[in-house]
Amino acid sequence: MAKITFITSDGNTTIVEGSTGSVMELAVQNKIKGIDGDCGGVCSCATCHVHVNPEQWDKTGAPDELENDMLEFDDNVSEYSRLSCQMKVSEDLDGLILTVAK
Amino acid sequence: MSSTTQNKVCIVIGASHAGVNFAFALRREGWEGEIILYDNDKEFPYHRPPLSKAYLTSEEGTEQSLLFPKENYKTDNIVLKLGIAVNTINKEEKTITLANGSVQQYDKLVIATGARPFIPPIQGLDLAKNVFPMRTAEDAINIRKTINNSLTKRAVIIGGGYIGLETAASLKKLGADVVVLEREERVLARVTAPVMSDFFTQLHQNNGVKVLTRKNVVSIENKDDHNVVVCDDGTKLNADLIVVGVGIKVNSELAQNAGIVIENGIKVDETAKTNDPNIYAIGDCTYHFNPHYKYHLRLESVQNAVDQAKAAAKAICEQEVVYDTIPWFWSDQFDVKLQIVGLSKGYNQIIIRQEEAENSFSTWYFKDDELLAVDAVNFAKAYVLGTKFIKSKQKLDKSKISDLSIPFKPNSFLA
């Protein structure tokens, strides 16, 4: 079980719990504003972009090549950007704080 | 508007990508009344794109790829009525009649009926065993079962479009002996440039799929335990499984019979509204105007289903909205990920950028100086940058696109 905090663009903070699936699926399930996951989680639409709390970058690790390519030219990219469909929910992510990208 | 929708009913016909995303979007936009979704399909609403891809080669059911988790329908008070056909719409009475005869009143009606596979009039096809389209979870399961239960595993795919090619790749992974029959002179003829057709033909051939073009199937001979697919040039192929992927027919009859304007699909305006003020249509079944490309079109894609659904939800909740997006698509075949942005129709020049890595390149479609579309093969950067350039209509220096010595950055290609 992992508790993950989402901060949305309207400033709201939501803490959700999950144990399986991707972080994107967990966000959709909990109606986190700004996370759509239109392509179903195959790294094709970039509608699940989040910024990882810099201090927790070790928890998530860096994106792979495809994910990185999807993010590189995004207007709102940061060095801590990830596509949440490519992050698996596990205990390793417990306590993670994510800011939903604009 | 909250006080005005409380006792209202919004009915959605069709619970796939468009219908389901619409329902959740409508709730998000503040609709307080009932939302009821009907669909013929008994399966809980699922993602369709994986059916011809990962789903076919896995052991999984659709519970792994639901559009939304089951709990969300409860928490958002969205009522799903599955396995129920809608027979008629009466727009004067504002009612629909179900197959069982019961009548349901609506205030707003959304038609998201999509399309069904077109089954060509090939002699003997209707009597042939183990013939399936690829549209629903049931189709995918039937295809999977047929191949897994066959000793000889001979699959013939009629139609070399994306559905046919994706299914071919997945069946090959399942150990089948696969032949793709395409009527035109090249696969993907309707949707891409010849260079893309060549690439995908080669990809399939390298992976052991036979791709035969200019093959017009004229009849199917039914043998005891298999079929023989016969082409007009005399080619005969034994088949334990036949997959038909030659295009679709829009499910527009329900709307047409109700007096809704049909023009290559259900005609809708920029808010997804039909000619009836209380009836909207979204997704594959609509014929709509794209403001960027400035023409009417019908699109079979997840992007169109989801984005048009969101626009309709806003419109029904009386917000100003114009459905104005750049279409995007994707396809997975073997180890190749194709990402497409834009509509290439009307192009008069293509530029190909070949990356150093094998099987990694992009095709840029121009009409004079305007970038219309990009096909990116194992190179998502071109897809993302292409999206930016198409949207911004920035003038590009075409000679730089194919020049690998120029770093792949947004400013590198501007004129």
Cα distance between residue B97 and residue B408, in whole Å = 56
CATH of the domain at A7: 3.10.20.30
* Position B64 pLDDT exceeds 90: no
Give how many domains chain B has, as a whole number.
3
Residue B61 has pLDDT above 80, yes or no: no
B337 close to A (CB below 8 A): yes
Same domain, B186 and B270: no
Instruction: Report the gap between the CA of B380 and the closest CA in chain A (Å).
Output: 5
Same domain, B345 and B359: yes
B186 lies in the same domain as B272: no
Which residues does chain A have within 8 Å of residue B388's beta carbon, measured at their own beta carbons? 73
Same domain, B357 and B395: yes
Average pLDDT of A66-79? 94
What's the pLDDT score for residue B63? 75
What range defines the domain where residue B405 resides?
Answer: 335-413
Neighbours of B101 (CB within 10 A): 7
Percent of chain B with pLDDT over 70: 99
- B147: closest CA of chain A, how far (Å): 26
Residue B239 and residue B256 in one domain: no
**Alpha-carbon gap, residue B264 to B262, rounded angstroms:** 6
Structure tokens at A99: 């800011």
In a domain, B330, yes or no: no
pLDDT the model gives residue B3: 54
pLDDT tier at B2, thresholds 50, 70, 90: very low
How does pLDDT run across A18-69, given as a tens digit for each residue? 999 999 999 999 999 999 998 889 898 899 999 999 999 999 999 999 999 9
Measured between CA atoms, the residue of chain A closest to residue B70 is A29
Q: Is the Cβ pair B379, A46 closer than 8 Å?
A: no
A positions 48-87 inside 8 Å of B (CB) = 66, 69-70, 72-74
Residues in B closer than 8 angstroms to A36, CB to CB, are 306
B122, part of any domain = no
Average pLDDT over residues B34-46: 96
The H or E element that residue B288 is part of is: strand B286-290
B311 and B231 co-located in one domain: no
- For residue B347, what pLDDT is reported? 97
Strands of B28-107, DSSP E: 34-39, 78-82, 86-90, 95-98, 103-105
Closest CA to B300 of B63, B52, B117, B141: B117
Give how many domains chain A has, as a whole number.
Answer: 1
> End-to-end CA distance of chain A, in Å?
28
Q: What is the mean pLDDT of residues A61-88?
A: 95
Domain match, B275 and B380 both: no
Clarify whether residues B312 and B275 are in a common domain.
yes
Shortest distance, CA A65 to any CA of chain B (angstroms): 9
Q: Is A46 left (phi over 0), alpha (psi -120 to 50) or beta?
A: left
Cβ atoms of residues B26 and B10 within 8 Å: yes
Distances (CA, A) of B183 to B52, B120, B189, B198, B314: 21, 12, 10, 15, 42
**Is B381 at the interface with chain A, CB within 8 A?**
yes
CB contact under 8 A, A38 and B306: yes
Mean pLDDT along residues B128-155: 96
B194's tokens: 């010849």
Taking Cα atoms as reference points, which of B300, B326, B337 lies closest to residue B16?
B300
- The answer to whether the Cβ–Cβ distance between B330 and A29 falls below 8 Å is no
Across the interface, whether the CB atoms of B339 and A44 are under 8 A apart is answered: yes
* Whether residue B308 sits in one domain with residue B159: no
Q: Between chains, do A70 and B384 touch, taking CB under 8 Å as contact?
A: yes
Model pLDDT for residues B242-296, shown as the tens digit of each residue: 999 999 999 999 999 999 999 999 999 999 999 999 999 999 999 999 999 999 9
B391, B339, B349: which is closest to B369 by C-alpha?
B349
Q: Which domain holds residue A39?
A: 2-100
d(CA B140, CA B283): 22
B182 assigned to some structural domain: yes
Measure B391 CA to nearest chain A CA, in Å: 13
Q: For residue B30, what is the domain's CATH number?
A: 3.50.50.60
Say if CB B212 and CB B182 are below 8 A apart: yes
Q: In this predicted structure, what is the pLDDT of residue A51?
A: 98
- Specify if B157 maps to a domain: yes
Contact B353, B370 (CB under 8 A): no
pLDDT tens digits, one per residue of B150-198: 999 999 999 999 999 999 999 999 999 999 999 999 999 988 999 999 9
Strands B286-290 and B266-267, bridge-based pairing: parallel
The rounded distance, in Å, linking the Cα atoms of A7 and A96 is 11
How confident is the model at residue B320, as a pLDDT? 97
DSSP bridge partners of B371: B366
Tokens of A83: 């596509």
Is residue A28 less than 8 Å (CB to CB) from chain B?
yes
CB < 8 Å from A in window 159-218 of B: none
Question: With an 8 Å Cβ cutoff, is B359 touching chain A?
Answer: no
Residue of A nearest to B21 (CA): A38
Q: Residue B386 belongs to a domain with what CATH number?
A: 3.30.390.30
Count Cβ atoms within 10 A of the Cβ of residue B247 and give its class: 0-12 exposed, 13-18 middle, 19 or more buried.
middle
- pLDDT score, position B79: 98
Residue of A nearest to B327 (CA): A45
| pTM of this structure | 0.95
